[in-house]
């Protein structure tokens, strides 16, 4: 999995932008709703719900919003019925893109996603056209300026916690797990006093598609347009962009 830092550069950028969006709490609530609907309303016995709740709280979502989303899913409150879908396609320059949505109107969402691809030099493909390029993994990032641990000590603690792999960038320790062990590894590291700038189960590309500045700008516009859609929960892609280009375009 060498080279994930290409992905994480954009991931950290995305996280900073998401926090500015007024729609973030709505998206987090839908994620909680779906996890509770599929596995029950108790985070202690439903790991995906636990992950969704932790993600919401890390983004300062009020507890009453979390509780309301769970109650809607379990039938304690009246709510809209959402369905989960994943769309796949290609962005500018052939960048692989997966779009995870939760929607109460599949036709509306499909049209909106297709429009975003078409408007930004991409095209929506068939199911499975890019999914094979991604692996589902647990991912955690620890800001190196927020810990006194050096790389060697951090590696030993990560291995002991049960993680699969760790990479070190200039700014972060990046930890990867199997999805099934994500919660356990995260809890172990939290008990040792570590905080995370990002922690989630996500899709990480096996290979990357490099683009020059013009293509990167178009791809970022596609990502932003998709993420601005309230039905879109996550956008996964395999863009390889130079960090200086990302800084310039940000």
For the stretch 26-77, pLDDT in tens is 889 899 999 998 999 999 999 999 999 998 888 888 898 899 889 988 887 7
**CB contact at 8 A, 91 and 239:** yes
pLDDT-derived band of residue 223, with 50, 70 and 90 as boundaries?
very high
SS3 assignment, position 246 = helix
Domain 5-74 architecture: Orthogonal Bundle (1.10)
> Domain limits of the chain?
5-74, 84-127+208-249, 133-205
Helix (H) or strand (E) holding 99: strand 96-103
The pLDDT > 70 percentage for the chain reads 91
Any alpha helices (H) in 43-144, and if so which ranges? Answer: 47-58, 63-74, 106-119
Pairing of strands 134-143, 165-168: unpaired
The mean pLDDT value for 126-141 works out to 95
Pairing of strands 239-240, 209-210: parallel
pLDDT-derived band of residue 133, with 50, 70 and 90 as boundaries?
very high
Domain 84-127+208-249 architecture: 2-Layer Sandwich (3.30)
CA 42 – CA 50 distance, rounded (Å): 8
Between these two residues, 95 and 199, which has the higher pLDDT value?
A: 95
The tokens for 87 are 């769309």
Largest Cα–Cα separation, the chain = 51
Domain 133-205 architecture: 2-Layer Sandwich (3.30)
Asked if the domains at 84-127+208-249 and 133-205 fall in one CATH topology, the answer is: yes
pLDDT-derived band of residue 1, with 50, 70 and 90 as boundaries?
very low
pTM value is 0.81
14 has a pLDDT exceeding 60: no
Which residues lie closer than 8 Å to 52 by C-beta, 6 or more apart? 28, 31, 32, 34, 35
CA 47 – CA 108 distance, rounded (Å): 31
226 has a pLDDT exceeding 70: yes
The tokens for 225 are 């347009």
**CB contact at 8 A, 126 and 154:** no
Which residues lie closer than 8 Å to 106 by C-beta, 6 or more apart? 83, 85
């Amino acid at each position: 999995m060498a080279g994930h830092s290409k992905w994480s550069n954009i991931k950290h950028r995305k996280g900073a932008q998401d926090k500015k969006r007024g729609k973030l709490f709505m998206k987090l609530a839908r994620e909680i709703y779906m996890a509770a609907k599929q596995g029950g309303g108790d985070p202690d016995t439903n790991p995906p719900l636990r992950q969704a709740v932790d993600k919401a709280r890390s983004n300062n979502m009020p507890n009453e919003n979390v509780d309301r989303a769970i109650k809607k899913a379990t039938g304690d409150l009246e709510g809209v019925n959402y369905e989960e879908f994943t769309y796949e396609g290609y962005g500018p320059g052939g960048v692989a893109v997966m779009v995870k949505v939760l929607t109460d109107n599949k036709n509306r969402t499909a049209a909106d996603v297709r429009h975003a691809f078409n408007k930004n030099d991409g095209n929506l493909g068939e199911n499975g056209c890019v999914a094979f390029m991604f692996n589902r993994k647990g991912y955690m990032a620890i800001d190196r300026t927020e810990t006194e641990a050096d790389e060697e000590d951090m590696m030993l603690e990560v291995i002991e916690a049960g993680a699969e792999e760790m990479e070190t960038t200039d700014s972060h320790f990046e930890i990867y797990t199997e999805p099934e062990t994500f919660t356990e590894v995260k809890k172990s590291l939290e008990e040792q006093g570590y905080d995370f700038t990002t922690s989630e189960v996500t899709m990480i590309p096996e290979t990357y598609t490099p683009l020059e500045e013009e293509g990167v700008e178009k791809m970022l516009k596609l990502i932003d347009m998709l993420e601005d859609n309230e039905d879109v929960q996550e956008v996964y892609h395999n863009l390889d962009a130079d960090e200086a280009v990302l800084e310039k375009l940000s």
